[in-house]
Amino acid sequence: MKTSAGILLYKKDGQDLYFFLVHPGGPFWKHKDAGAWSIPKGELLADEAPLTRARIEFEEETGQPVNGTFVPLTPIKQKGGKTVFAWAVSGDIDPAALHSNSFPLEWPPKSGRMIEVPEVDQWAWFEPEEAKLRINPAQVALIIETTELVRDKPE
């Protein structure tokens, strides 16, 4: 079964908590919003440390490295069966300054025509309730767990 690893970046502003999410690029995701957003993540390679992959994916999908204290979260299983390992880390990033890597995609499917699409086409900070509406439904558990971990923790 496939496994992925990712980073859930969060920030506190007084008592307010925000989560950084990414929206997948490409024509399939173009008009999808609720349930389409995700933590920056990617598929693990053979014999690769999950946190190493998570940090690589964050940088590929944002153009920015992520540093800090990485708190492991309970792995989740997405609808398609993929297990996602994730770490919460406090930090700040300006969505306006970000850029994503891109990849070739056959579009339309089975057409033989290849186009280049960004892996991520949008980045944004969301309050917990909005994040739960936007994120892949299986990843809601990551938002809930991180909220409980940091609710009363001073920054």
* Boundaries of every domain in the chain: 3-150
- pLDDT tens digits along 47-61: 999 999 999 999 999
User: Is the pLDDT at 115 greater than 70, yes or no?
Assistant: yes
What is the rounded average pLDDT of the residues 103-129? 95
Task: Please give the CATH architecture assigned to the domain spanning 3-150.
Answer: Alpha-Beta Complex (3.90)
Cβ atoms within 10 A of the Cβ of 91, count?
15
Amino acid at 88: A
- Residue 105 to residue 116: CA distance in whole angstroms: 6
pLDDT at 153 over 90: no
- What is the model's pTM? 0.93
For 42-47, what is the mean pLDDT?
93
Sorted by sequence, the CB contacts under 8 Å of residue 143 that are 6+ apart come out as 8, 19, 128, 131, 132, 135
pLDDT bracket for residue 34 (50, 70, 90): very high
Task: Give the separation between CA 86 and CA 111, rounded to whole angstroms.
Answer: 36
User: Which of 7, 8, 4 shows the shortest CA–CA distance to 131?
Assistant: 8
Average pLDDT taken over every residue of the chain: 94
Per-residue pLDDT, 155: 58
* pLDDT tens-digit series, residues 63-79: 999 999 999 999 999 99
> Does the pLDDT at position 152 exceed 90?
no
Please choose, from the candidates 35, 34, 37, the residue with its C-alpha nearest in 3D space to the C-alpha of residue 8: 37
